[in-house]
Structure formats: C-alpha cells, structure tokens
Amino acid sequence: MSTVLQTSVLAGLLTFLAIGGLLAKVHWKWKANPWLVGIMVLLFNAALFGAVLLIYFNMTRTLFTFVPYAVVLSITVWLFIGGLWRGTQKERFILAAIGSSFYWLLSCYVLYRRITLKPRYPGDDVFMAALGLDIALLVTGTAALSCTLMLGWPRKDTYQSH
C-alpha cells in the first residue's frame, strides 16, 4: 500500500474512533439533546468535506484514494449515530435536519450556480461547466438525502415514550 493510502486509512480510522469515543464519553443529557448531536454531525460533515477539499487542492493524485474512504467513513458515522440515538421520532427528525443541513445548503448553492450559469464572453461554451455542476449536484444531493435518511429513518427499538 502506498504511504498516502495508508495515511488516508489511518486518518479515517482515527476520526471514526474519536467520534465514537466522544459519543461514548459524553454525558447522557448532552446525547439526549438532538440539537447538540445534530450540530456535532453538521461539524463532522463540514470537517470531512473540508479535508477532501484540502487534499484535492494539495494532492490531486491522491483524491481518488481518499474519497471512497471519506464516503465510507461518513456513512459509518451516520449509521453509528443513528443507531445510538434514543429519543422520539420528532427529536430524530431534528437531529437529521440539523446534521444533514450542510449538504442540503451545499446542494442549494450548486443548484443556484447551475441555474445562473452564463457564458463569460460571447461564444463561450458552458457545457463542461454545466456538466461539472450537474455532477456536483448529484453528489451533494445524494449525500444530503443519505444523511437525512440514515439519521432520521424510524427505528422501532430506539423510541422513548414521553
């Protein structure tokens, strides 16, 4: 395995263990607050997205080795937090709405850029820019929907009666 790939795997595992340890050690009242847990998921999503952008701008060749690990790490953390959550369905919806809002806002931004895309000068072909924005919209929309469903999908065994 290459050094960059090993570093990516190690960074992903350390991030997953850090979030798992944080959730395990946090006081129960904090874990019972859907707003705070949603903000934690939002910050995790933003940090992981930022890490992918940082790698993209610094080491383009390693992007394709890191992105699959970032996707797997995101899905694993979403399922982990969704499985840990104990609360009402309304609280689960709040958690999912806040946690996935980073990707929903990013999808709205990409959609806005796609709708307002215009040629920079007469005769400019915007096909490739439009294609790139369409792919970005597909990726961010899929991430937003996946995060929302994995955090907010009803689970019978995790409800509390209030």
> What is the pLDDT at residue 63?
62
104 vs 2 pLDDT, higher one: 104
- Encode pLDDT of 96-142 as tens digits: 999 999 999 999 999 999 999 999 888 888 999 999 999 999 999 99
For residues 145-156, average pLDDT: 86
pLDDT for 15 beyond 70? no
27 vs 123 pLDDT, higher one: 123
Domain boundaries, the chain: 3-120+128-158
Distance of alpha carbon 60 from alpha carbon 53, whole angstroms: 10
Find the Cα–Cα–Cα–Cα dihedral 26, 34, 15, 28, rounded to 10°. 10
pLDDT for 94 beyond 90? yes
- Encode pLDDT of 60-81 as tens digits: 666 666 777 778 888 888 888 8
- pLDDT averaged over the chain? 80
For 152: left if phi > 0, alpha if psi spans -120 to 50, otherwise beta; the answer is alpha
Confidence of residue 1 (pLDDT cuts 50, 70, 90): very low
36 vs 15 pLDDT, higher one: 36
CB 71 within 8 A of CB 90: no
Distance of alpha carbon 3 from alpha carbon 83, whole angstroms: 33
pLDDT for 148 beyond 90? yes
> What is the pLDDT at residue 139?
92
pLDDT for 2 beyond 60? no
